[in-house]
Amino acid sequence: MPAISDRRLASVYASFERKLQREGRGGLSRDQALEVLAELADRTGRTSKAMLQELRTAGLTVAQQAELVKKGVTAEERADLKALLAERQVPLSPAARELFEAVLGGALVTRDAALDAVVTPGTGVKGTTRPNATIEAVNVSAAAGSGHDVFVVGQADERGRFAARLSGPQRPKEGDFVRLRARFDDGTTSDWITVKADGRDARPAALIVNRLELSTAASGKVAVRTRDDEQHLSEPGATLAFTNVRTGAVEQVALDAQGRLPKDFSLAGKAGDRFAVAVTDGAHNRNLQQVAGYVTVAGGARSGGLAPTPGLHKDELNADGTPKMVKKTFSGPLFEGGVSMHDVQQGSLANCYFPAAVAAVAHARPELLQRLVKDNGDGTFTFTFTQRDWATGRTKQVPVTVDGDLWVKPEKGTPVYGRGGTDHRPESMELWFPLLEKAYAQWKGSYDVVGNGGVASDVFEELTGEASDYYDLHARTNPDTLWKRITSAVDDARPMAAGTHEPKDVNYTNTGVFDDHAYSIIGYQTEGSKRYVVLRNPWGDSEPKNNGPDDGVFKLELERFMHLFANVMTLAPA
């Protein structure tokens, strides 16, 4: 039997399922379907018996019966009905299927021979596939190049049924599109299917700008392609608008059912042209005035306004003020598989507040970092920060353009300061984080300036343009209040960081946690009555013992967290 939330509906369906299996005959009949639908009428003020009697009124069309049922159907019950449509253990007769689809407003379930699924807003996905298959999914409406677009969300049982939750930024809202596939024991997979959650569209379409690649083509055209043709750019059917900043010309294109560009799509333009790209799903940003990002055609003249490489920290200078380090040009990809917190690795600079804040944003809201940077297509990159005037409360945008030159250790050739990912070679290191840190240091004055203390909450505001909260922990802090603050921020996809005490205040010996240091808060867990805070060290390693691989990610019981940490910082609720 499929996973059904409504207990009464589940009971009625289960009785039909047993009867049909016992009698060994066909699927659910039209009259049995009416009995199922009558159970969905509990919000109309009538009993299921009264509703069934009305549904059986002679002369009623399928459309009229559907309208009667719709008046009392909740979003959860619509999801239950979709689960019945996806069920294969007990097939539906054509008349029963027609009734169910009429209530849902059409055949809303995308089907594959090996996978059926429905999406429940606020919860996740459920459906049927082959027994014991692994279910992989991505919320296309929420994902914006987060580094690992596709997540393993669950596993089917021995009858092929599954019900999996999607949490954090992936948690579906009304109107979201979720792509799924099943991975089987033999290594093969089902086709991808796309399922839309019921309800009005609650989330604006996101666009993964860094997947777009523009290059010159014949006859004064610019070829537009996606770096990975199998990956989506935005929601299925979304419309993109490309505005040539040089000419002002606007060209639009609709994405296909997989959220991808049509083949051979091109624009009018030339090498060096910069395009502003906007997206609409038909419900949000209909006038296409909100720009998702910028893309530049490869080639053309080098961008102006290039900022020099910021000066070294004083610890990397000789006694006469000359640098101990040398500069090297890095030419690796700006993004490698999108934005991930694991891309962020603090270097020798004592600026833990900055990588801790950046990693927290990368984990919770990677699309904000995607929009922060523009690849100028000429080896330079423009990062746009937000500066607040504390006297007036007003903000302004501060663009900083940098190139790929980074300070490196002469003997190794590896970056002195922030590094991207685990491959630190000049030709292949992922550049977005070290260049973001470089632009930030240039904006503030030098690496020495940003390496002498700061707070993550300021960085949250400078990266996002949104207001932040700073919360001191002390002996009177209520654990339940703190837990609610942390869980609500995680559930709302608001980035968080936390700072430890100075060594004179707390003894950190053998704790695996370091004094006067900032960490990203990336989640929470519960195990029975115990509550845990999940954190990440911006070094990318070094953590308490027995916390899994030494990747900097670890968990602390809430009371232990409150003892070792002095403050919690996050973006303020909207």
Number of domains in the chain: 4
CB 153 within 8 Å of CB 136: yes
Rounded Cα–Cα distance for residues 531 and 543 (Å) = 19
Q: Is residue 360 part of a domain?
A: yes
Which token pair is 303?
A: 């961008």
Q: What is the mean pLDDT of residues 396-404?
A: 91
User: 């560009």: which residue's tokens?
Assistant: 261
Q: Residue 464's closest CA among 537, 364, 350?
A: 364
Position 449 pLDDT exceeds 50: yes
CA distance linking residue 138 with residue 389, whole number of Å? 39
- Tell me how far apart the alpha carbons of residues 507 and 509 are, in angstroms, rounded to a whole number: 6
The answer to which of 15-24, 266-275, 458-467, 555-564 has the lowest mean pLDDT is 15-24
Tell me which of 83, 108, 133 is where a domain ends: 108
Residues 6+ apart with CB under 8 A from 341: 147, 359, 360, 362, 363, 520, 522, 536
Please check whether residue 138 lies inside any domain of the structure: yes
Q: Spell out a b/e string for 262-299, using b for 16 or more CB atoms within 10 Å of the CB, else e.
A: eeeebbebebbbbbbbbbbbeeebeebeebbbbbbbee
For residue 148, name the pLDDT band (cuts at 50, 70, 90): very low
Question: Do 196 and 217 fall within a single domain?
Answer: no
Among 108, 124, 150, residue at a domain's last position? 108
The whole-angstrom separation of Cα 39 and Cα 474 is 53
The dihedrals phi and psi of 403, each to the nearest 5 degrees, come to -110, -170
φ, ψ of residue 505 in degrees (nearest 5)? -95, -35
pLDDT band for position 23 (cuts 50, 70, 90): low
Q: Which amino acid does the sequence have at 258?
A: Q
pLDDT at 95: 73
| Domain span including residue 55 | 1-108
Joined together, the tokens standing for residue 314 give 């004083």
Closest CA to 499 of 573, 407, 549, 561: 561
**Could you tell me the CA-to-CA distances from 279 to 177, 254, 289, 295, 441 in Å, in that order?**
15, 10, 9, 14, 32
pLDDT at residue number 528: 93
Tell me how far CA of residue 438 lies from CA of 67, 73, 319, 403, in angstroms: 60, 55, 24, 9
Element (H, E) at 171: none
When pLDDT is cut at 50, 70 and 90, the band that residue 86 belongs to is low
The answer to whether residues 52 and 77 belong to one domain is yes
Q: Residue 535 — φ and ψ, nearest 5°?
A: -130, 170
pTM to 2 decimals?
0.52
Q: Mark whether 13 and 157 lie in a shared domain.
A: no
pLDDT surpasses 90 at 344: yes
pLDDT tens-digit profile of 346-365? 999 999 999 999 999 999 99
Lowest mean pLDDT among 162-171, 301-310, 403-412, 543-552: 301-310
Tell me, yes or no, whether 233 lies in a domain.
no
Final residue of a domain: which of 77, 108, 139?
A: 108
Same domain, 398 and 507: yes
CATH number of the domain that residue 129 is part of: 2.60.40
